[in-house]
A and B are shown apart, each in its own frame.
Chain A
Amino acid sequence: MLGSEILMTAIIATSSAQSTAPSEDNSNDGYIMVDVEKLEDSSYKAHDSSKPGFVAAELSRDAE
């Protein structure tokens, strides 16, 4: 499912970035760390405004 794929990508992205991320405490005690920005970006691109299918991100119209 598209959502799960995007979610997994965001989790993997954070895992690889973790070693270089500045952090005072690297032990996250079992927390799954998610790259929210990557997820926003991936979710956005999955429905990119340059392709059909993206629900309006830039709102320059009057609401219906």
Chain B
Amino acid sequence: MLGDSHNFGRAVRSENSLVLKSRTVFWEWLLLGGDSPLSLYFSSLNEDLHLPFTVFPRLSFELNEYPNESKCERLKVNEIAFDEYVFTDVQLGAFGSVLALCHFFGISDLHYENTVFGIDEKDGRLIFCPIDVEVVFENNILLSQALLLESDSLTNGKSGTQSLLAGLNNNQLTKVIVSYLEYSYLLGRYRKQIINYLQNELFIGKQRVRVLIRPTADYATDRDDRKFSRCENEQLDRGDIPYYFRFLESKTIYHYTSKEGIYKPCLISDRDLEPTLNHIMDYDSLEHKFDDSVFLVSALQMIKRVIDEAPFTFELVSIFRLDITKDKILMNYRGNKIGCYL
């Protein structure tokens, strides 16, 4: 077993060169599959949109309907020696584009064990990608909410970018951040087409998405039956970590009631579910979610969290200027001026 037990004792497990998952692997296939239709579609829209796929692996998948297990080729990477490896600007740009793509799709729970950075053992390519993509289309404002970046509530090297960003110098980090902004800007230009494609060609509304209604850690420590709902307690009683999901086209949250995959709406009160419902996007709001100010503020958080030099100035003519002094950060991205005090 590679993870927690859910839904009547099911868990992710490995078998030779495969990872077997008792849930949909649709989202992982969409990003990491060697035959990903999204990769092809992005290339057809704009060559630059393909950038994140240059550092994604090209894995084999077998997608099966729940409760049958889906299969995924295991990704194996070797560590990178930062003092020996010379990153190109395109590679640094690709790192930023991956962060932007994850933010765009609202992929969450991307802590250090759910991202991979290294050299692919299979083909020697540089890899930076999310590997456990089951919580998607969450309404994150900051990358730290997706656990991609550290914050006061997430420390000790547990963020999903820790192994990557800690090894880069400040100029390299700034290039990653500029690329994050540029790729977000590009996604914004094509968002209508992308969402239309996802809805009408890939039918993502019918796909299951995991919903986390509380941190898994809450279930693991000091169990207090009064704190949890009846259906959470039922799942805990049989040795499972409670598991909930929805179909992307609706906000109704379900749980499985049999090993064979029968499911029912969960009976947690609307009041208790309100924070969860506020944080997930409904099907119709996908197009309107991606507010440019979110990406600007998120980039500012990245600068504040990862660049540790003052004074520091970086300029990319007519697109980006960053000035860090001992007491403030000022960032000008395409005429959008935003800053913060230190």
| Chain A 6-48 per-residue mask, 1 if CB under 8 angstroms from chain B, else 0 | 1100100010011001111100111111111101110110111
Are B213 and A40 closer than 8 Å at their CB atoms? no
Q: Nearest chain-A residue to B302 (Cβ)?
A: A36
Are A34 and B339 closer than 8 Å at their CB atoms? yes
State which of A7, A36, A54, A61 has its C-beta within 8 Å of the C-beta of B275: A54
Are B330 and A57 closer than 8 Å at their CB atoms? no
Considering only residues 128-159 of chain B, those with a C-beta below 8 Å from chain A are 132, 134-135, 138-139, 141-142, 144-147, 151-154, 158
Q: Nearest chain-A residue to B158 (Cβ)?
A: A59
Interface size band for A: 35 or more
- Cα-based distance from A51 to B330 in the complex (angstroms): 35
A-B contact count (CB 8 A): 167
Are B338 and A32 closer than 8 Å at their CB atoms? yes
Are A34 and B340 closer than 8 Å at their CB atoms? yes
When distances are taken between beta carbons in the complex, the residues of chain B under 8 Å from A40 are: 142, 144, 151-153, 301
Give chain A nearest CB distance to B219 CB in angstroms. Answer: 9
Contacts A44-B153, A47-B275, A53-B275 given; indicate if A60 touches B221 (C-beta within 8 A).
yes
Contacts A54-B214, A56-B215, A60-B220 given; indicate if A23 touches B340 (C-beta within 8 A).
no
Are B2 and A64 closer than 8 Å at their CB atoms? yes
State which of A28, A31, A63 has its C-beta within 8 Å of the C-beta of B111: A63
When distances are taken between beta carbons in the complex, the residues of chain B under 8 Å from A10 are: 297
CB of B337 closer than 8 Å to a CB of A: yes
- Cα-based distance from A59 to B3 in the complex (angstroms): 13
Q: Nearest chain-B residue to A30 (Cβ)?
A: B337
When distances are taken between beta carbons in the complex, the residues of chain A under 8 Å from B215 are: 49, 54-58
Q: Which among A6, A23, A44, A54 has the highest number of chain B CB atoms within 10 Å?
A: A54
CB of B293 closer than 8 Å to a CB of A: yes
CB of B307 closer than 8 Å to a CB of A: no
When distances are taken between beta carbons in the complex, the residues of chain B under 8 Å from A51 are: 214, 272, 275
Considering only residues 244-292 of chain B, those with a C-beta below 8 Å from chain A are 268, 272-279, 291
Give chain B nearest CB distance to A50 CB in angstroms. Answer: 9
When distances are taken between beta carbons in the complex, the residues of chain B under 8 Å from A1 are: 291
Contacts A56-B217, A62-B4 given; indicate if A2 touches B142 (C-beta within 8 A).
no
When distances are taken between beta carbons in the complex, the residues of chain A under 8 Å from B146 are: 55
When distances are taken between beta carbons in the complex, the residues of chain A under 8 Å from B212 are: 55-56
Contacts A58-B217, A60-B217, A61-B217 given; indicate if A34 touches B141 (C-beta within 8 A).
no
Are B217 and A7 closer than 8 Å at their CB atoms? no
Give chain B nearest CB distance to A63 CB in angstroms. Answer: 3
Are B214 and A34 closer than 8 Å at their CB atoms? no
Q: Nearest chain-A residue to B336 (Cβ)?
A: A32
Are B297 and A39 closer than 8 Å at their CB atoms? yes
Q: Nearest chain-B residue to A61 (Cβ)?
A: B216
Are B278 and A55 closer than 8 Å at their CB atoms? no
State which of A28, A36, A52, A55 has its C-beta within 8 Å of the C-beta of B108: A55
State which of A18, A54, A60, A64 has its C-beta within 8 Å of the C-beta of B132: A64
Contacts A31-B337, A47-B275, A52-B214 given; indicate if A39 touches B109 (C-beta within 8 A).
no
Q: Nearest chain-B residue to A42 (Cβ)?
A: B141
When distances are taken between beta carbons in the complex, the residues of chain A under 8 Å from B297 are: 7, 10, 34, 36, 39
Given contacts A49-B217, A56-B217, A63-B3, 4 further A-B contacts (CB under 8 A): A6-B141, A29-B330, A59-B113, A63-B111
* 18 sample A-B contacts, Cβ–Cβ < 8 Å, listed by A number: A24-B325, A24-B327, A31-B337, A33-B341, A35-B340, A39-B297, A41-B152, A44-B145, A49-B214, A49-B218, A52-B214, A52-B273, A53-B214, A53-B279, A59-B111, A60-B221, A61-B216, A62-B4
Give the top 6 A-B pairs by smallest Cβ distance, nearest first. Answer: A53-B275, A64-B3, A63-B113, A56-B215, A53-B276, A31-B337
